[in-house]
Amino acid sequence: MLIRRPQPGDCAGIQPSEITDEQVYLDRRNLLRAALAMGVAGLGTAWPAGAVSGGAPLNAKRNPAFHVSDPPNSYDDITTYNNYYEFGTDKSSPAANSDRFKPTPWTVTVSGAAERTGKFALEDLLKPHALEERVYRMRCVEAWSLVIPWVGVPLGEVLKTFKPTANAKYVAFKTVLRPSEMPGQTVNVLQWPYVEGLRIDEAMNPLALLAVGLYGKTLPNQNGAPLRLVTPWKYGFKGIKSIVEIHFTEKQPPTSWNISAPDEYGFYANVNPHVDHPRWSQARERKIGSGLFASKVPTLMFNGYEQEVAGLYRGMDLAKNF
């Protein structure tokens, strides 16, 4: 990337895959289709008890309401060339340097403006919820895009169980701080731990997903194991990884890339082809996996999710609130 300081967004992929993921995935999709065609009720949902590093199979039901027709990127694309600065700033760093990271056991602390707060084991956080598979278009701030079959639970459903109060105008997220397992945290490229946030109505939007897996298996470390945010109408850097804290708050919370470069990365980070990044256009994107010489395609407002989310921003100047 032609930049002066480390930048988020470049979400693409390389490196050998560990298993026959896509074939398994395609077979599973066919099974699901067959099951649905036969009127078989859901395949059930399950977060494996006492689970597990990346790659353990998850029993998730595909949600056809959240599906795009473009084929998903390969497991390699998704897992071997991405940004997770806690493991280094090269695109290959997360896959190369995340072996030592232990995503299990995992607890999440919930605090702030909510009736139910405390420290929750990931299993307990997920237990009441059905795991869903959703195929989302993802748009990185650097004008790459991917299609990813996530597994997770709707963020809003999880947040509601904490009964946020009227003062909960925003929800803030924090990544784990573990320099001994995350070598990037010993380097001053960002302020650690990584933090992100959403307005409460954004968080409650049905599109917002707390992901625990991709391609039908638990998240690999480099993609944010064991729990991460997915907001497909926003640039990729909103998708905070390895979440250990959820905090309900009245004030707009600080966010890592906005702290680092406020003129370049706003709080909202909505995909918007009409608002360029100060150093490059956001009008078009390169679809990862389409070949080096493939032409770029136009970027869609809210990454194609305009119908679902435009109402959240009615009346706002999106050039100012970028």
- Strands 243-249 vs 170-175: parallel, antiparallel or unpaired: antiparallel
Q: Is 49 exposed, middle or buried (0-12, 13-18, 19+ CB in 10 A)?
A: exposed
Report the residue number whose CB is nearest to ligand MTE.
Answer: 8
106 forms part of the interface with ligand MTE (CB under 6 A): no
303 forms part of the interface with ligand MTE (CB under 6 A): no
The one among 73, 74, 80, 83 contacting ligand MTE by CB under 6 A: 83
Closest CB to ligand MTE among residues 8, 213? 8
Q: From 156-164, 236-244, 245-253, 259-267, give the range in contact with ligand MTE by CB under 6 A.
A: 236-244
| Interface of this chain with ligand MTE, residues 108 to 147, rule: CB under 6 A | 140
88 forms part of the interface with ligand MTE (CB under 6 A): no
- Radius of gyration (C-alpha) of the chain in whole angstroms: 19
236 forms part of the interface with ligand MTE (CB under 6 A): yes
Q: What is the rounded CA–CA span in Å between residue 123 and residue 125?
A: 5
Selection from 269, 312, 47 nearest residue 158 by Cα: 47
Binding mask 1-40 for ligand MTE (x = CB under 6 A): -------xx-x-----------------------------
Closest CB to ligand MTE among residues 146, 168? 146
Q: From 29-37, 49-57, 124-132, 235-243, give the range in contact with ligand MTE by CB under 6 A.
A: 235-243
Coil, strand or helix at 47: coil
- Kindly state the smallest distance separating residue 245's Cβ from ligand MTE, in Å: 12
Question: Is the CB of residue 116 less than 8 Å from the CB of residue 236?
Answer: no
Closest CB to ligand MTE among residues 84, 313? 84
CA dist 235 → 115, 214, 223 (Å): 31, 19, 15
- Kindly state the smallest distance separating residue 10's Cβ from ligand MTE, in Å: 7
Structure tokens at 146: 């991917």
Name every residue whose Cβ is closer than 8 Å to that of residue 25 and which is 6 or more positions away in sequence. 72, 75, 149, 215, 216
H or E segment and range at residue 139? strand 132-139
Tell me the torsion sign for CA atoms 249, 255, 259, 263: negative
Q: What is the rounded CA–CA span in Å between residue 205 and residue 210?
A: 12
239 forms part of the interface with ligand MTE (CB under 6 A): yes
- Kindly state the smallest distance separating residue 241's Cβ from ligand MTE, in Å: 4
Closest CB to ligand MTE among residues 162, 237? 237
Instruction: Tell me, by CB under 6 A, how many residues bind ligand MTE.
Output: 17
Interface residues with ligand MTE (CB under 6 A) are 8-9, 11, 82-86, 140, 175, 194, 223, 236-237, 239-241
